[in-house]
A and B are shown apart, each in its own frame.
Chain A
Amino acid sequence: MILRRTLLLVLLLPSLAAAQTSPEDQARGLLEDGRTYRKEGKLKQALDNFQTIVSGFPNTSFVDDALLEIGRYYLEVDHDAAKARDAFEQVTKRFPQSDGAPGAYYYLGRLTMERAAAATDIDDALAQFARVQRLYPRSEWVPRALYATALAHRKSGRLAEAAEAARRVALEHPSSDAAPAAQFELAQDLALSGDFRQAMEEFQQVRNRYPESEWSPLALDRITALYRLYGAGKPTFALDPSYSVGAGDTLKDVRGILMMPSRTLWVASDKVKSAIPFAPDGKMGPGLAGEDLQSMSLAPNGDLLVTAARAVRLGPRNLQTFAIPGSKPGETEPLEKLGAAAVTPSGSVLVSDEKKKKVFRFDGKLQYQAPFPDAKERQISRIVLDGEGGIVMLDRDEKTVRVLDEAGRVLRTIAAHGPGYDLRKPVDVAVDGFRNTYVADEESGVLVFSPQGQLLATLGGADVRKARAVTVDPSGGVLVYDEKLQRILRFK
């Protein structure tokens, strides 16, 4: 019997051996399947595959790729920066000559950049991106690293350097997958630098060279916005007589309007005690309820902030009240006359309290930090972001608009009076993608200011009776809520 079994085994062994594939082939198969899962959105399964490669096939040539994918998962899905960093660092330390190494440096740079709190963080990120270009000059990661370099420079306010890095992608790697974004970035940097004509040309290049990319329609909006203001010599705004959104009570007692990048228009009506979304086709969506609505703003992550007198809705499900330390230790004092709120690029929350006449800063965990920018009393009725790290605050009493950085330094100011204008009753403020500021004034209509504070245009006249709220759409069209007309007007 034993002999028979032995004989059987001996006969079977060769065919068993032939049926087994090599570890290298198995690892390759797991990697390919994992990437397929990722494309299909089966992220957990993808992660399992990649982790199996690392633990089960440590001597194959696919470990670096697997680690890179693991890092991407933690970065993009779990948002776990520590785990992501660990995975990427394993690649750079253990497999510095591998195909995955430049990608790892790239992601490390991105991690550093996205969490940058200080200029040195940005410099660290830039060093990682530079490493990709220097050590792996023919790698497919070079254009991505260059693009990320542009973003990092922009984040630091170094627009010329940002434009140069973005230009290099467009010049040297026009067929790379980073090229459309880089071309868009180049145009944006030029616009922010004040070179509007060149910016329009470069936005047009996005459309000419990459018409099918996601950046092409965005470029159209940007060009329209720029051309409206700077294209034909004089800014051109004309009332769109066909525009109509909302009806009935939704247009009564409107405290704020906000146009999202998706072109959904939110209308905060205290009459219906809701912030109501209107889709681009005019269809009304489910609203967010709120008592005593005051204003709305947009967080850096795209969430809508709706400020009511006692609470702020941070996103669709997160209703937050705020309190500051009281006069006695251990005591807290609720803020009950909120006027405006905003989330800064670093994740802090700023809320203005009209009773206290201050703006208070809370950290990402909503722990109270300090008054912002200082303890001086101000009646801040609006806080919005300018998209470039600037925090725009409308001081109702002083009738000024100030733009500050996260540290509270004043970057620019629109004074109450200036050549060609008087702010008499400013009630709302909006900022477009180029840091042009739109101030709704009950008496004057809507005043448009350049980033330098120069008046570009005044919208109103006979068209606007009493401007109460203002927002700007992605193509630079201006929407104004007229309290007297109880209508939202659009100037295109």
Chain B
Amino acid sequence: MTVTRPRWSLLALALALAAPLARGQEAAAPSGALSEAVQKELAAVQDLIARATAEFEGPQQSRSIVQFDEIVTRLEVLHRQGTLPPRGREILSTAYEMRARAYYNIGLQEKAADSFRSLIQLNPQYAVSKERVSPKVVDYFNSVKKALVGYLAVSSSPAGARVSLNGEFLSLTDFFPLEVLAGEYTVEIAREGYRTETRTISIAAKATETLQVDLTRTLASAFVVTEPAGVEVWLDGQLKATTSGTPGPDLVEMVRAKGLDPARASGRTELGNLSLGSHNLEFRRKCYETVKRQIEVPEARDYETEGIKLQDSVASLQLRSEPPGARIFLDGEAMGITPKDLDAVCSGRHHVEVKHTSGKFVQDIVVSKDESVTLDCPIRPSLAYLGVIAESAAGERFIPDVEEKLIENLQQKVTALNFVPAPRDTVDRVLESEKLTRKALLAGSGVDPDIVRKVTIRLAEALEVQGFLLALLPGEKLQRTAVLNLLAAGNTVPDTSDVTFGESASYMRFLAEVDRKATLYRPWTGLITVDTSMYEGVPVLRVVAGSPAAQAGLQPAEVLTAVDGKGVKQTSDLLAAVEAKKAKDKLGLSFKGAGGAARTVDVTLADTPQEIPLNDPSLLYNKVMIDLLAQIQGYPGTETAAFARLNLAICAMHFGDFAAAHEHLLKARAELPARPGLSQGTALYYLGLALERLGYKKEAVDAYRAAAGFKDATLFNNDGPSVAPLAARRGGN
């Protein structure tokens, strides 16, 4: 397609009219992704320009004209549609230039001039490269250009304003004269925070027009410096800026004058575009107290605010756990091992997790500035919830509903244990390694108890828990009941509890039993008194050797008349008074001696370990075992762990698992003390019982005889019946 040469004036008019259309079209051109058609067209044109350029540089340069014509035609279509992208504009400019040069080189200067004109109309600031193009062509181009373009320079106060000609962005002030097509323009000078100025100018070819515009401020700015840096500045509830950097040398004095430490202060941060009026400022930074200010902005100008100094807002946190040596995680970050003092803990809410092999403690806390908080973190054993299984296929469809109800009724309501939903894949992996399913953990599963025991231990290690809860939907027609199976790690027989899974009240009994803690220690004097109707008070029958009463010098036959000033009529009065105290507390005991002499003696209580009863229908033995496991894991190598093992053996015997009891007792025997009371002799006695039940009669007799050698060993607790005569009888002595 050939371009005709319109008249200059007409051309100018056409340009003046066409420009807004073009700009409108360009403005409409998507700044984002190009349409597929345009992309295709652009790709085709790129191909064409490469061929045309090759032709241009070849021996038959004039042949390239046709190709450039095609490129121009195709791209002008896009240009008119307003869909010409910047790359297309470049190609079109190149095509115009090269076509013009080709025309020029074959002597068709008018045609060359037309091409140059089209180029200049497209891009008034276009310059032909002197390095690549012959000076004649350059001069010719420039001569064509001169006839078409004028110059515009715009400056503003303040500078940095956007200048648009007829809506099309030109440049930012202040700029030197830029080439623009001659014509009439509406010049818009705009800057945020200032009123936009508009001017109408007429630019003649070769003429230079200059605009100097004073912009009128409409918004204010405030400048802040904070100490420290990194402070969020919130304006009227929106985050406006974050201070950063450091004050430049020129601002050091200013910062100091604001009462801030230049070494810690931020650089000067602008809060621009503030509307006139009153604004609320908040300066926030973690671990610092929020500062609030109000700023009045009556005029559109810059305002310097006072220096903003934030005060530390930290607290200290002392973490103690029972047992100690637990890993601390504060908001997910490892912070050491208990006991631990953490200074400079930011005020506010924190998530505390304290983890131990025997369980964990989890709590959200809120600390205030300068508060010193001591947090006792009693480690609770963890119970892995293994989900629900159905006895029959028909029950499977109820599983999701039952799951939901069980979690709703158990998760936040079990307080003595951490209720932990177990990751399904971990559980499946461990069970599958022994070719088992969850059903193997239920009572009466028929699976070899040794395998069940091994699997529960492995599962507990994998999940970091001490026990498991698995719910079974029995094969009843009206599905209302779920059977909760509670199983301690290392045990083989679960405790079961029926619940009507949709009724919260039906969980109460189970929750009460799970939250009940078995009594493993109780305060103790070692004073054995008996009730008689002979005295006002209770006579002392025996004083246990080595006990607190023995250490206080108490003797049999004295009559106890009062405890801490309160009269004693029967032994239960003394026992109740002791039970109300704890180890290391003092108890004032008043006595009447044989001759009638009265005296009061202070006895410092100790703890006596306590055996779990072998058969107590009110106990959930698996829960007891979970607590015991936590003690063994929490206090390894201590007497506490040793007594816990003894009780674990008793629990195993409750379930008839004498093999497990035997294992526990062997360890307990090695760890228990040899002193009066519950001791090695106790473990040996029970070892004899376990061996007897396992059918090892000779070994049982040996154990009993060994037990009989511990003259001061007892059963039940340190006050209990002597092991020696019982063991002697069983050992055949």
Known: A175-B618, A228-B532, A231-B557. 10 other contacts (CB 8 A): A167-B721, A173-B614, A175-B616, A176-B615, A204-B531, A207-B570, A220-B533, A223-B530, A231-B532, A475-B532
Output the nearest chain B residue to A204 by Cβ-Cβ distance.
Answer: B530
Identity of the chain B residue whose Cβ is nearest the Cβ of A233 in the assembled complex: B557
Q: Residue A124 at the B interface, CB < 8 A?
A: no
A→B interface (CB under 8 Å) = 137, 160, 164, 167, 171-176, 197-198, 200-204, 207-208, 211, 220-221, 223-224, 227-228, 231-233, 236, 475, 492
A174-B616 contact in complex given A164-B726, A207-B571, A231-B557, C-beta closer than 8 Å: yes
Interface SS majority for chain B = loop
What A residues does B541 contact at CB under 8 A?
A: 197, 200-201, 204, 227, 231
Point out the residues of chain A lying under 8 angstroms from B575, CB to CB. Answer: 208
Q: Is the CB of A224 within 8 A of B617?
A: no
Q: Is the CB of B534 within 8 A of A204?
A: no
On whether the beta carbons of A492 and B534 are closer than 8 Å, the reply is: yes
CB pair B721 A232 closer than 8 Å? no
Which chain B residues border A223 with CB–CB below 8 Å?
530-532
What string of 1s and 0s marks CB contacts (under 8 Å) between B552-583 and chain A? 00000100000000000011100100000000
**Pairwise interchain contact A203-B530, C-beta atoms closer than 8 A:** yes
Residues of chain B within 8 A of A236, CB atoms compared:
534
Interface range, B side:
20 to 34
A473, chain B: closest CB distance, angstroms: 10
A-chain residues with CB within 8 Å of residue B572 when the two chains form the complex: 207-208, 211
Contact A172/B557 with A160-B729, A197-B542, A231-B541 known, Cβ cut-off 8 Å? no
Q: Which of the listed residues A171, A197, A475 has the most CB atoms from chain B within 10 Å of its own CB?
A: A171
**Within 8 Å of chain A (Cβ to Cβ): is B423?**
no
Main SS of the interface on chain A? helix
A207 and B541 CA atoms in complex are apart in Å by 15
**Contact with A175, one of B528, B617, B721, B726 (Cβ below 8 angstroms):** B617
If A198-B721, A200-B530, A204-B571 touch, does A164 touch B715 (CB 8 Å cutoff)?
A: no
The closest CB in chain A to the CB of B533 belongs to A224
Chain B, residues 609-621, CB within 8 Å of chain A (1/0): the string is: 0000111111000
Residues of A within 8 A of B618 (CB): 175
Min Cβ gap B593→A in Å is 11
Q: Are B613 and A174 in contact (CB under 8 A)?
A: yes
Instruction: Kindly identify which residue among A167, A174, A231, A233 contacts B530, using a CB–CB cutoff of 8 Å.
Output: A231
A220 to B569 alpha-carbon distance, docked (Å): 12
B539 within 8 A of A: yes
| CB proximity of A479 to chain B, nearest CB, Å | 15
Which residues of chain A have C-beta atoms less than 8 A from B656's C-beta?
Answer: 137
Residues of B within 8 A of A171 (CB): 614, 715-716
Question: Is A175 touching B531 in the complex (CB atoms < 8 A)?
Answer: no
Which residue in chain A gives the minimum CB-CB distance to B541?
A: A200
5 tightest CB-CB pairs across the interface, nearest first? Answer: A224-B532, A172-B614, A204-B530, A174-B613, A227-B532
Q: Nearest-CB distance from B239 to chain A (Å)?
A: 66
Knowing A208-B575, A227-B534, A236-B534, say if A201 contacts B542 (CB, 8 Å).
yes
If the complex has contacts A171-B614, A175-B615, are A164 and B530 also in contact, measured as CB distance less than 8 A? no
CB-CB < 8 A to A232: which residues of B? Answer: 539, 557, 594
- Chain B proximity of A8: nearest CB distance (Å): 33
- For A197, the chain B residues whose CB sits under 8 A away are 541-542
Contacts A173-B615, A197-B542, A208-B571; is A228 near B729 (CB within 8 Å)?
Answer: no
Set of chain A residues within 8 Å of B615, measured between Cβ atoms: 172-176
- A211–B722 Cα distance when bound, in Å, is 23
Nearest CB of B to A189, in Å: 12
Q: How far is the CA of A201 from the CA of B542 in the complex (A)?
A: 9
CB distance from A281 to the nearest CB of B (A): 16
Closest to A200 in B: B530
Q: How far is the CB of B69 from chain A (nearest CB, A)?
A: 100
The residue that B613 contacts in the complex, of A167, A175, A207, A208, with Cβ under 8 A, is A175
Considering the chains assembled together, what is the distance between the CA atoms of A164 and B557 in angstroms?
A: 29
Complexed CA–CA distance, A160 and B732 (Å): 12
Q: Which residues of the other chain, A, contact B542 by a CB distance below 8 angstroms?
A: 197, 201
How far, in Å, is B531 (CB) from chain A's closest CB? 5
List A contacts of B539 (CB < 8 A). 227, 231-232
Residues in A neighbouring B715, C-beta threshold 8 A? 171
With A167-B726, A207-B572 as contacts: A227 and B614 at CB distance below 8 Å: no
Chain A residues lying within 8 Å of B530, measured Cβ to Cβ, are 200-201, 203-204, 223, 227, 231
Ordered by A's residue number, 27 sampled pairs between the chains whose C-beta atoms are within 8 Å are A160-B729, A167-B721, A171-B614, A171-B715, A172-B614, A174-B613, A175-B613, A175-B616, A200-B541, A201-B542, A204-B529, A204-B530, A207-B531, A207-B570, A207-B572, A208-B572, A220-B532, A223-B532, A224-B534, A227-B530, A227-B532, A227-B539, A231-B557, A232-B539, A233-B557, A236-B534, A492-B534
Asked if A475 contacts B533 (CB within 8 A), the reply is yes
